[in-house]
Structure 1
Amino acid sequence: MKNSLSFLLENLEDEWGKEITLKRNDFLINKGDLNTNLYLVKEGSLRVFIDDDEEHTIRFGYKDSIITAFDCFLTEKPTSFYIQALKKCSLKVISKINFIHFINSEKEYQDVWNIFLNDFMYQQIEREIDLITYSPQKRFERVFKRSPQVFQEILKNILRLI
């Protein structure tokens, strides 16, 4: 089966609601928010982080990626995360209710969503292994190998400042 995210995005095209724009450093979601929407990043980049006396970035969102406060999306309880624009962003929005209705409308969509969730879980496991097992240098090498787009986005932002 083709890439699960690509398949979902193609089939969700008509389901997205409004489009929103964030300026650089604007927050999409703040700790304590009850926001179960899913967002499709059309342009720009965002970071998901926690702040417990020190900021820790959990993941990034880039063009054509889906981003949400997954803890809130899954449990419908206030989130522990912040989601902040690293640069100007354009995002499409779908509510959890509309998304679940869409996913449940066809078995194939349910299967693809499960593949997407499995991929997400595997990424989280890889991150945990990195944090527990490897030196900072080795973690850097593994992240670069797994997610070169992180470094491409950082480089783009640096070049824009020069």
Structure 2
Amino acid sequence: MESLIEYFAKLGFSEDALTEFLSCIKTRKFAANESILVHGQMENFLSFVDTGVVRYYVIANDKEITFDFAFKDSFYCAYDSFYNRTKTEVYIQALTECQLYSISHENLQRLYEKCETAKKLGRIATEYLLDKKVKRELDLLTKTPQERYEKLLFEQPKYIRQIPLKYLASYIGIVPETLSRIRKRIS
């Protein structure tokens, strides 16, 4: 759980302040290509990616459309389902072997009632997810597919090579052949 402790330490939390929160964390492991959450289920966990790459997608017109990834040292969750306690419309998949540190909705709500640190930690995770969503929407509206790819390549160079071309292309909003041409141009 060292990566989670380090993440919060950078934000000014001591390990002692995290003790109660960490006692509620469950380690979950998934094999490459294993489903973590499927359409129609309810998201019960707010998770931190310790290792691996996670993909979010929907199915529309019988096609998978990738709309987000979560990488090492980041939070992920189908947050609309998690916070509203509704069934999700998304699929979440481990693209690579993944280890996640997760807190259940029930435990998080219980901690919110009695622990000020938990409220701060929950707020940080929520703000992270909201900030990521807004940046993604702005990128889709203001950047070209090549710029979106270059940004992803700059931010996550180690992991890009682990993501199949068809998922990267879908995420950027283009077909795989166009992404191949972009890759050729910038290499």
Q: Report the TM-score range of the alignment, normalised by the length of the smaller protein.
A: 0.7 to 0.9
2:33 maps to 1:20: no
2:109 to 100, 103, 110: 100
Name 2:45's counterpart in structure 1. 37
The equivalent position to 1:50 in structure 2, one of 55, 58, 68, is 58
Higher RCO (CA < 8 A, seq sep 6+): 1
Q: Are the equivalent residues in 2 in contact too, given 1:22–1:90 (CA < 8 A)?
A: yes
Q: What is the distance in 2 between the residues matched to 1:112 and 1:82?
A: 25
The corresponding residue for 1:136 is 145
Q: Count matched residues.
A: 151
| 2:160 corresponds to | 154
CA contact (8 A) 1:34 1:76 kept: yes
Identity level (%): 27
- Higher radius of gyration, 1 or 2: 2
8 Å CA contact retained: 1:23, 1:87 = yes
Which of 79, 86, 91 aligns to 1:77? It is 86
More helix by share: 2
What is the one-letter code of the residue matched to 1:100?
A: Q
1:13 is paired with a residue whose SS is: helix
Give SS of 1:153's match. helix
What's the TM-score, normalizing by structure 1?
0.76
Q: TM-score, normalised by structure 2?
A: 0.67
Which residue identity is paired with 1:23?
A
What is the CA–CA distance in structure 2 between the aligned matches of 1:28 and 1:97, rounded to whole Å? 19
Q: Is the 8 A contact 1:71 1:80 kept in 2?
A: no
Q: Aligned in 2, Cα 1:118/1:126: closer, same or farther, shift over 3 Å?
A: same
Cα distance 1:81–1:157, how it changes in 2: closer, same or farther (>3 A)?
closer
Is the CA contact (8 Å cut-off) linking 2:46 and 2:76 kept in structure 1? yes
Q: 1:50 to 1:60 in 2, by over 3 A?
A: same
Instruction: Note the alpha carbon deviations across 1:30-69, whole angstroms, 9 max, x for none.
Output: 0111232223333322111112133222222233333221
CA distance in 2, matches of 1:88, 1:49: 18
RMSD (CA atoms): 2.8
For residues 14 and 79 of structure 2, the distance between their equivalents in structure 1, rounded to whole angstroms, comes to 18
| Structure 2: segments with no counterpart, 5+ residues | 1-5, 165-187
Q: Cα deviations across residues 76-135 of structure 1 (Å, max 9, x unaligned)? A: 111011111111222333210101222343334323432332232122111111112222
Unaligned runs of 5+ in 1: none
